[in-house]
Amino acid sequence: MDDLAEKINSVLSDPESLKQLGEIAKMLGFSPDGAEENPPEQTEMPDIAALTALAGKLRDAGGDDDNIRFLSALRPLMSEEKRPRIDKAIRLLKLINLLPVIRDSGLLGGDLFGII
């Protein structure tokens, strides 16, 4: 688990990796502030069945797990200064939960930037 945390920290500290994550978020229809926006137009026809299956898997994987529920329960007990940190941790955990689905989909070439 420490190895995974080190890899995540290395990705988050690398500007190029953060740029790639931002591009992935835009491809999925999310803007940097968390609001959804229109996805970019594509010139080739995507496989609708594969995209529908991937969307379902992403929705299921992006749900709350025990760690997210725990942090959500702690949030009201924290001071105002610490609540944004809890929110960031929850967003990071949701992203981590999506990594296996994205890796298995082949969306990023299957190796997630050489991390896993």
pTM, full prediction: 0.48
Q: Domain boundaries in the chain?
A: 2-35+48-114
Find where tokens 């992203």 sit: 95
**pLDDT tens per residue, range 7-48:** 777 767 777 877 777 777 777 766 655 555 555 555 566 667
The two structure tokens encoding residue 115: 């991390």
- One-letter amino acid identity for 78? M
